[in-house]
């Protein structure tokens, strides 16, 4: 399959342990509603199912999801199951645990003993016997604390065969070192994009040196985070987009992918047109001068 018919592979591949993925994947957070975690109007079910199937046709073989990605009547995991099961052999589904939401949508954080229940919930919803990759998502309140007890519990689930590979999400370099001392880590999933501070860039470089995948989220949304792209982009970003005649989102993704061969993009969308645009981000060639200008926006 050529890059024209398989745009997700245009920037090559990376290995998550023994699993090979194309560097452009798909985030499932926006499949369930126009705003993530919205208890109001859900996205059209068949439209989301069609988008997932189209993503696979475009070469996506890495989907990022979570059991807590649900709106009033939609669950990202169940949409993935409905759209793609029986799953393609090369499809890697990554999920995350520690945060959870109850039936009313209220957030809660699991104890180490409760992580097994969260893993099993993902298994049931996805219809899998094991999970390919599970990221331990660190709560904001623990950004400077130890994650050893939770990561150790997750490592036990890997030893039990419920999980194939482990990752960490929203971590510091110290927490990454703590996790790696307990069990192998295949990826780090942190917020990152144009304008990210120096400490985030340092962690990205560290992952490259260690041979770990760095999987940025909010690469398109930036400071908008869950709400979506910020209302106004800097003139520098807009100028590069105008020069290439492409949407700003494509510039943001192209710059992110350029940060290293170990960087995997997981842009999330519930819009088929945006999916097509995101999948072509890897084919956008930024000049060294453009990339330097965009990089100068960060710390």
> Rounded CA gap, 97 and 272, in Å?
28
Given a contact cutoff of 8 angstroms between Cβ atoms, the answer to whether 40 and 187 are in contact is no
Structural domains of the chain in order of their starting residue, each with its CATH number: 7-295 (3.20.20.100)
Query: Tokens in use for 291?
Result: 């990339």
Mean pLDDT in the chain?
91
DSSP for 116-176, please give it: HHHHHHHHHHHT-SSEEEEEEE--GGGTTS--HHHHHHHHHHHHTTSEEEEEEES--HHHH
When pLDDT is averaged across residues 84-112 and rounded to a whole number, the result is 96
Number of helical H runs and strand E runs in the chain: 10, 11
Q: Which of 4-8, 159-163, 181-185, 250-254 has the lowest mean pLDDT?
A: 4-8
More confident residue, 54 or 281: 54
> Rounded CA gap, 123 and 142, in Å?
26
Query: Tokens in use for 169?
Result: 């999400």
Q: Residue-wise over 35-58: b if at least 16 C-beta within 10 A, else e?
A: ebebeeebbebeebbebbeebbeb
Name residues whose C-beta falls within 8 Å of residue 232's C-beta, 6 or more positions apart in sequence.
none
3-state SS, residue 77:
helix
CA-based nearest residue to 23, from 69, 88, 92, 84 = 92
Name residues whose C-beta falls within 8 Å of residue 292's C-beta, 6 or more positions apart in sequence.
none
pLDDT, residue 38, reads: 61
Query: Is position 69 annotated as part of the catalytic site?
Result: yes
CA-based nearest residue to 116, from 69, 185, 163 = 163
Q: Residue-wise over 61-73: b if at least 16 C-beta within 10 A, else e?
A: bbbbbbbbbbbee
Catalytic residue selected from 68, 69, 192, 255? 69
Give yes or no for residue 1 having a pLDDT over 80: no
Question: Which residue is listed with tokens 């036990």?
Answer: 156
pLDDT, residue 297, reads: 87
pLDDT in tens, 99-146: 999 988 899 999 999 999 999 999 999 999 999 999 999 999 898 899
Task: Give this prediction's pTM.
Answer: 0.93
């Amino acid at each position: 399959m050529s890059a024209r018919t398989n745009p997700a592979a245009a920037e090559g591949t990376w290995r998550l342990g023994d699993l090979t993925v194309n560097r452009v994947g798909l985030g499932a957070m926006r499949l369930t509603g126009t705003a993530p975690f919205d208890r109001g109007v859900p996205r059209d079910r068949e439209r989301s199912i069609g988008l997932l199937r189209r993503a696979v046709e475009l070469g996506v073989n890495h989907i990022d999801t979570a059991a807590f990605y649900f709106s009033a009547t939609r669950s990202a995991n169940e949409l993935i199951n409905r759209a793609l099961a029986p799953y393609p052999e090369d499809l890697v589904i990554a999920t995350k645990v520690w945060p959870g939401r109850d039936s009313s949508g209220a957030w809660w954080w699991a104890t180490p003993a409760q992580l097994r229940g969260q893993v099993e919930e993902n298994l049931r919803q996805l219809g899998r016997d094991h999970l390919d990759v599970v990221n331990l998502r660190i709560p904001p309140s623990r950004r400077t604390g130890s994650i050893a007890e939770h990561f150790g519990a997750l490592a036990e689930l890997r030893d039990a065969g419920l999980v194939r590979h482990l990752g960490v999400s929203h971590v510091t370099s110290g927490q990454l070192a703590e996790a790696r001392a307990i069990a192998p880590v295949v990826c780090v999933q942190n917020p990152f994009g144009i304008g990210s501070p120096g400490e985030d860039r340092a962690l990205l470089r560290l992952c490259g040196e260690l041979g770990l995948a760095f999987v940025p989220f909010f690469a398109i949304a930036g400071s908008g985070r869950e709400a979506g792209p910020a209302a106004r982009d800097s003139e520098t970003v807009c100028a590069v987009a105008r020069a290439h005649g492409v949407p700003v989102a494509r510039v943001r993704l192209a710059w992110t992918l350029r940060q290293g061969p170990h960087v995997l993009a997981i842009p999330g969308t519930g819009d088929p047109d945006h999916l097509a645009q995101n999948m072509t981000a890897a084919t956008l060639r930024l000049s060294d001068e453009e990339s330097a200008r965009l990089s100068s926006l960060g710390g």
